[in-house]
Structure 1
Amino acid sequence: MLALILLRCFNLASGLKVNLGKSKVFGIGIDNLDIDRLASILHCEPGCFPFKYLGLPIAANMNLVKSWNLIIEKFKNKLSIWKAKNLSFGGRLILVKSVLGSLPLFYFALFKAPKKVIAVLEGDGKHTYFWKDKWCGDIILRMEFPELYKIESEKNCKVSDRINIGDDVVFQGMWKRSPRSGRESAELEKMTSMVVDTSLSRKTDSWEWKAGEPNIFSVKSLRDLMDNNLDIHNHMGEFHWVKCVPIKVNCFVWRLLCNRILVACKLVETGILLDSVTCHF
């Protein structure tokens, strides 16, 4: 009853009422039966260590990799492919900023992550897609070799599933059926030659920014790269992202300057036939 009196005094003094339905009772050096009895008196649930508070594991040994599993899963779930497909251009931009900016700042400001956890979040050979990621030069294999990609048995395979690094780099393909047409055989020969000639190592994979010096990402280097490649200044002077303007408007204007809006003329250029490219209004 003393606990109820203390909570009532807290309520009267601060004006804040404790929601017992969302509260739990924890004990240190106390028998579990005593914790259960107190929880029954307070009409709340008994708790145990470790527990989560604001998404953070409390009383867990954060030096252990297994203690970071829930956090790693949260990163992966936030960046799942199906979510990106259902978001607008501006929504995807906000999602990436949130995952790559806010989440690391939130967790790493309180705990020092083990090196293995950092390696998983950055990516290694086991997390690099063989067909869908740009790891073999400046090309994506599924776009460069579409006929082989059609007969691939596991389209989400990783580089480590198809490449065996020993004394020599060996490509190990797994197909729904053996490549048999002339085009499939030609693509297989070209891709095998390209893959085995690629310089690979057993070190953990990491992202490298080619536009910066010395290979370090910065916002300025990205902005300079965009301005130089898109030549925006020749259209409307210098382009600025305005914070007070909705993100979708900023993105729309930027894509318009890049000639990326699918207007009628643009659809015709991509091979889509229309009755007319003139405006009906």
Structure 2
Amino acid sequence: MSGLKINYHKSSLYGLGVIKDEIERLSLRVGCKVGEFPFTYLGLPIGRNMNRVENWKPVVDKFMSKLADWKAKMISFGGSIYGPNGLHITPGSNGPLTKSGVWPNIVRAGISIDKIWLQFGRSFIKQIGDGNHTEFWDDPWLIDGPLKHRFKRLFHLEADQRATVRSRITWNNNGVRCYWQWNRDLIGQARDELQSLTDLLFSYVKQDRTLDVWYWNLATNGIFTTKRLTRLIDDATLLDNRPRFESLKNNLVPLKLEIFIWRVLRRRIPTRIELDKRGIDLNSVRCPLCDDDVETIDHTLFFCRHSYEVWDRVFKWWGLGVISNLSVNEAFRGKSNRAMSQMGNTIWQAMEWTCKYLIWRNRNLKVFSNKCWNGPTALMEIQLRSFEWISTRTKNVKIEWNRLTIPNIYVL
């Protein structure tokens, strides 16, 4: 047995199809109260006809009161945040950012996406059908944000600030007809705002649909998907617009490799010299592989004698001639080889990135496990890993292992 007991003083006895006297007699025997329909259980009404709208009003009112408390806690006075209606946080207003929880994390994620110029917070807009499910002032439907932010005087003079689009404007064959309800007559700048709002309303092109729907401006079909958002974020973060770098998108390698190269080009990998710049106390800042020089990104990936040997084998494997500082620098910048086809250049970039990635992984094995590879082993691992990544990501071109490992492969 669980050991739980029934608290009869807080319990009630209800009857269906039983006379009231019988219920009272049984309640005296049990020791509980007599209950009557309808009653509330877990906040929901029991015993009422829930097909009637008025029976849902207590539930809706309770949710609205809770929502008011939520707004008071989560929305700052300086502006608004990302919300169910696509609201946008005002720059500089910390609001919920100092709190923890699911929704503050969503807000922070939305702000981070906006920092890469996607304008995610303003990418949702309502397309009007009958206008019954869109709030005129709060929902973004006419402009890329709520109308109450642009027409503040009109919003404060509005008699019903939660009015729907249908209650304020209708479309017919003769054009647009507005139904305003103000708390007082409009004067001064309020009249100017009304004129600007009217011009916007008359220029709005209403879609031929029956219901109001959300439309996502960042998708051609207007439907939000996490796959599409992920692709947009990847395109925005993995494409470097600075002139000295080419595109950091290569469909032949996994995403983790693109991110690694992105970090390399921005000096974001934790070499010893970079850690020392951040004030981390280290026993030495010299290269853990060769101990010949301080460990910079260029030294680790290219000029360390162990890395240099790996690159020399890769260059000979591809028939690119004798390795030199100039050729390594060109590889670092992702320069293409005119002797190769477009596919050949794409495969070479994938090989080059794989080589850098495995050199860095070998460096970490040396630091943390005191293990290190040699030249032949390194080349074989680069070939195996490259073949694995490339062969599973090429649809139109079949890559064969024997073809990939022969010398002078750059003729692809």
2:6 is aligned to 18
Matching of residue 85 in structure 1 with residue 91 in structure 2: no
Q: Which residue number corresponds to residue 141 of structure 1?
A: 147
- Quote the offset at 1:93 in angstroms: 4.5
The answer as to 2:23 corresponding to 1:35 is yes
CA contact (8 A) 1:164 1:171 kept: yes
Alignment root-mean-square deviation, CA = 4.1
| Offset from partner CA, 1:198-240 (integer Å, 9 cap, x none) | 24478332333343564333334445556667x5998xx97xx
Q: Which has the larger radius of gyration?
A: 2
Matched residue, 1:187: 193
CA distance in 1, matches of 2:238, 2:43: 42
- Check if 1:206 corresponds to 2:206: no
Equivalent residue of 2:177, what SS?
strand
Specify the alignment match of 2:178 in structure 1.
Answer: 171
- Looking at structure 1, the residues matched to 176 and 60 of structure 2 have their Cα atoms a distance apart, in angstroms, of 31
Contact 1:170 1:196 in 2 (8 A): no
Counterpart-to-counterpart distance in 1, 2:239 and 2:9: 59
The 1:145/1:72 distance shift into structure 2, 3 A limit, reads closer
Distance in 1 (CA, whole Å) between partners of 2:72 and 2:26 is: 49
Tell me the SS of whatever aligns to 1:207: strand
The aligned runs of 1:62-77 (5 Å cut-off) are 62-66=50-54, 68-77=56-65
TM-score (ref. length: structure 1): 0.52
Aligned counterparts of 1:52 and 1:196: Cα–Cα separation in 2: 49
Which residue is 1:255 aligned to?
none
Q: Deviations over 1:85-114 (max 9, x none)?
A: 3133456844999xxxxxxxxxxxxxxxxx
Q: Please state how far the C-alpha of 1:67 moved relative to its aligned partner.
A: 5.0
2:130 and 2:166 in contact (8 A); partners too: no
Structure 2, unpaired ranges of 5+:
75-95, 107-128, 241-257, 260-412
TM-score computed with the length of structure 2 as normaliser:
0.38
Partner deviation per Cα, 1:165-193 (whole Å, 9 max, x = no partner):
44432123334454443x54443322112
1:53 to 1:189, Cα distance in 2 relative to 1, 3 A: closer
Letter of the structure 1 residue corresponding to residue 166 of structure 2: S
Q: Which amino acid aligns with 1:43?
A: G
Tell me, what secondary structure is at the counterpart of 1:84? helix
Mapped to 2, the partners of 1:152 and 1:28 lie a distance apart of 50
Q: CA deviation at 1:25?
A: 0.9
Query: CA shift at 1:68, angstroms?
Result: 4.2
What percent identity do the matched residue pairs reach? 33
| Alpha-carbon distance in structure 1 between the residues aligned to 2:153 and 2:45 | 47
Q: 1:232 to 1:179 in 2, by over 3 A?
A: farther
> SS at 1:39's partner residue?
helix
Match of 1:252 in 2: none
3-state SS of the aligned residue for 2:214?
coil
Q: How many residues align?
A: 196
In the alignment, the residues of structure 2 paired with residue 205 and residue 138 of structure 1 have an alpha-carbon distance, to the nearest angstrom, of: 16
Residue matched to 2:32:
44
Aligned twin of 1:107: none
Deviation at 1:150, TM superposition (A): 5.0
Residue 225 of structure 2: aligned partner: 218
Change (3 A) 1:27 1:148: closer
Q: Which residue of 1 aligns with 2:134?
A: 128
